[in-house]
Structure 1
Amino acid sequence: MTERKPIDCWLTDMDGVLVHEERAIPGAADFVTKLIESGRRFLVLTNNSIFTPRDLRARLLASGIDLPESAIWTSALATAQFLDDQRAHGSAYVIGEAGLTTALHEVGYVLTERSPDYVVLGETRTYSFEAITKAIRLIEKGARFIATNPDPSGPSPEGSLPATGSVAALITRATGVEPYFIGKPNPLMMRSALNRIDAHSETTVMIGDRMDTDVISGLEAGLRTILVLTGSTRAEQVERFPYRPTRVVDSVADLVDLIDELAPPPA
C-alpha cells in the first residue's frame, strides 16, 4: 500500500468491523476518533436499510463509538439516490422500515400501492405475506424491481433471520423478475459513497470483514481494501477466493496508526 498514492479517505463497513451484535469491537472507538481528529474524510457503510443514520448514530454511541450522523451511508440512502438519479420524483411500493421510507421521502418519492414506478424491497423485522403478495402483483403489472441489498440472512439473539436476499428470491421465483440490488457487493454502493465525500478511488481504502461483499465491491470500484478478521471471513478462507485484499489485519485496532502512516505528507 505504501508504494501507491497516499490514503486520504477511508470507507469502512460497520458490522464485523466496528461493532458485533451492538457491542464495540476493541479499538473501533479509537479508530473513529483518530479519523475525526486527523481530518480524514470517511464514511461508515452498512447494507442494513432498517435504520436511519440518526438511529444508527444513537446505536453506535450506546456502544461507545461517537461519530457524526453525516458519516453514515446506508444501502437505503444509496437506493434513494439511485432512484432519484434514474427517475426523479417517481413513485414506489416499499417493503421496509423507517431507514428506507425516510430516505425515499427525502428525495421526493411518493410511496403508493397504485401503479408505482418501482417495487423497492428492503430489510424489515416483520415481513408480511400480504405485502410480499402485493409486491408480486405489482411487478407482474410492470413495476420495476429494486432491492436494497442481497444479504440472504441476518443475525438476531435467537439465531439467523431471513433478510432481503431471501425475500427477493421468493419474489423472483413467483414473478420471473430479478431485482437490481443496490448495496454491497454492487460497486455502485462504493461509487455513491465516494461521491458523497468527494473522494477519489486511487486515494481511498475500504475496510470490511467479508471477502464476498466488502472486499469485492471495493476492488471492483478501484479501491485498496483491508480485511479485518473480526467478522465473517476467517483467515484460512482468504486463499479460497480468486481475488485478494490489499492487506489483512486482525482487527480495526491495528489500523489506528496506519491513518497517519498512509496519509499524504503535510502541505
Structure 2
Amino acid sequence: MASRDEVECWLTDMDGVLVHENHALPGAAALLQQWQDQGKPFLVLTNNSIFTPRDLSARLRSSGLDVPEEFIWTSALATADFLKSQVPGGSAFVIGEAGITTALHEAGFIMTETDPDYVVVGETRNYSFEAITKAIRLIVNGARFIVTNPDATGPSADGPLPATGAIAALITKATGKEPYVVGKPNPMMFRSAMNRIGAHSENTAMIGDRMDTDIVAGIEAGLHTILVLTGISDQAEIERYPFRPDEILQGVHELVENDPFLAEIND
C-alpha cells in the first residue's frame, strides 16, 4: 500500500483506538460517521471472545459510538468461521462464554463433551478446574486444540487478569499440544474480516494501538497499517520491534476530514 488515498476499506481495533475505559476517544464518532457517509466498508475488530457483537454494539453505544452489530468482528466469529471451513457441521467442547458459544452455534457446530472434533478455549471469567481437566483429556484423546486469541492477561481495575493465553499455556503444558490460535496476531483474523466485507488487502487499512498484534498482523496480511498512540504503544514501545507501521498518528481524530479537535490543537 503506497498511500492512504488508495484505501477503500477499513479495519479498526476497538479498545485503545475508538474507546478507552468505556469512553469514546476524540474523533472516533466522527470517523465512524465519515466512513458511513462515504460508503466505505469497515469493521471494528476485537480479540475479546467473551461478548457477542450485539453485546459489544450496546457497550459502544453507551460510550457514545453507534456501531451496528454487523460492523463488529470478534476473535470468536473468526474462530467459528475458520472451524466451519475446516469441518462443516463439526463438534466442539468449549471453554468460554456467550461470544464463542453463540458464534459456534450459528456456524452449525454442536457443543459436546463426547469425542468432539475440537477443544476450543476462549475468554471467560469463570474458568473451572473440572472444565480444564476435561479439555486436557479430550486433547490427549485426539481432539484438535483451538484458541480464540493469544492474550495472556487482560486488564481490570485491580490489575491484570489471567486470560486465554495463560489457560492455553496450562493446557499445552499438560498435553504437550500447541493450539492453533485464530485471533490477532494471526493475519487470518484480518483475512476473514476482509472476506466479510468483500475487501482486498491492496486497498484495505488496519488501525490499531498494539505493535505485537494489530500492526504485525496487518503487515503480514498486506494491509496499510496505522498505529495510534491512544492505547498502549508509545515511541519506546515502537522501537522494540524490527518492523514499522505505515503511519503513526496521535489518534483517530487525525483521520477525520476537517476535524475540529485537530484544528483546536493547531490553534
**TM bucket by the smaller chain?**
over 0.9
Maintained 8 Å contact 2:4/2:224: no
Q: Match of 2:232?
A: 232
Q: Which amino acid aligns with 2:47?
A: N
With normalisation by structure 1, the TM-score equals 0.94
Q: What whole-Å deviation, never above 9, does each CA across 1:38-73 have from its counterpart, x for those lacking one?
A: 110000000000000000000000000001111000
Whole-Å separation in 2 of the counterparts to 1:80 and 1:160: 27
Whether 1:44 aligns to 2:44 is: yes
CA contact (8 A) 1:5 1:203 kept: no
What residue in structure 2 maps to residue 189 of structure 1? 189
Please name the residue that 2:20 is paired with: 20
Hey, what does 1:212 align to over in structure 2? 212
* Cα 1:3/1:227, change in 2 over 3 Å: closer
Q: CA deviation at 1:4?
A: 7.2
* CA apart distance, 1:5: 6.5
Per-residue deviation, residues 61-99 of structure 1 (Å, max 9, x unmatched): 000000111100000000000000000000000000001
Q: CA deviation at 1:33?
A: 1.2
Work out the CA distance in 2 between the residues paired with 1:169 and 1:100.
19
May I ask how many residue pairs the two structures share in their alignment? 259
CA distance in 2, matches of 1:10, 1:124: 29
Offset, 1:237: 2.0
**CA separation in 2, counterparts of 1:101 and 1:123?**
11
Quote the Cα distance in structure 2 between the aligned partners of 1:170 and 1:2.
43
Partner residue, 1:165: 165
Cα deviation, 1:132-181, whole Å, max 9, x if unaligned, reads: 11100110111000000000010112211100001000000000000000
1:45 is paired with a residue of what secondary structure? strand
Shift of 1:240: 2.2
Q: 1:226-259: CA deviations, max 9, x gaps?
A: 0000111112221221110000000111111299
How high is the sequence identity, in percent, across the aligned residues? 66
CA distance in 1, matches of 2:120, 2:237: 34
The 5-angstrom pairing of residues 87-236 of structure 1 reads: 87-236=87-236
CA gap of 1:4–1:212, structure 2 versus 1, over 3 A, is: same
Q: 2:121–2:164: 8 Å Cα contact kept in structure 1?
A: yes
Aligned-partner Cα distance in 1 for 2:85–2:94: 18
Distance 1:237 1:43 in 2: 26
Are 1:67 and 2:76 matched, yes or no?
no
Cα distance between partner residues in 2 of 1:235 and 1:258: 27
Q: Which moves more between the two structures, 111-120 or 125-134?
A: 125-134
Paired letter, 1:186: N
Q: Is the 8 A contact 2:204 2:223 kept in 1?
A: yes
CA distance in structure 1 between the aligned counterparts of 2:193 and 2:230, rounded to whole angstroms: 23
After the TM superposition, which segments of 4 or more aligned residues of structure 1 sit over 3 Å from their partners? Answer: 1-5
Instruction: Look up the SS of the partner of 2:216 in the other structure.
Output: helix
Inter-partner Cα distance in structure 1 for 2:256 and 2:127: 40
Question: Any idea what SS the aligned residue of 1:120 has?
Answer: strand
Task: For 1:30 and 1:127, locate their aligned partners in 2 and report how far apart those are by CA, in whole Å.
Answer: 39
Q: In the aligned structure 2, how far is the partner of 1:6 from the partner of 1:248? A: 17
Greater Cα shift, 154-163 or 43-52: 154-163
Give the letter for the 1:210 counterpart: R
CA distance in 2, matches of 1:18, 1:236: 22
Letter in 1 for 2:233: T
Give the whole-Å Cα distance in 1 for the aligned partners of 2:128 and 2:250: 40
RMSD: 1.4
Q: How far apart, CA to CA, are the structure 2 residues paired with 1:218 and 1:232?
A: 17
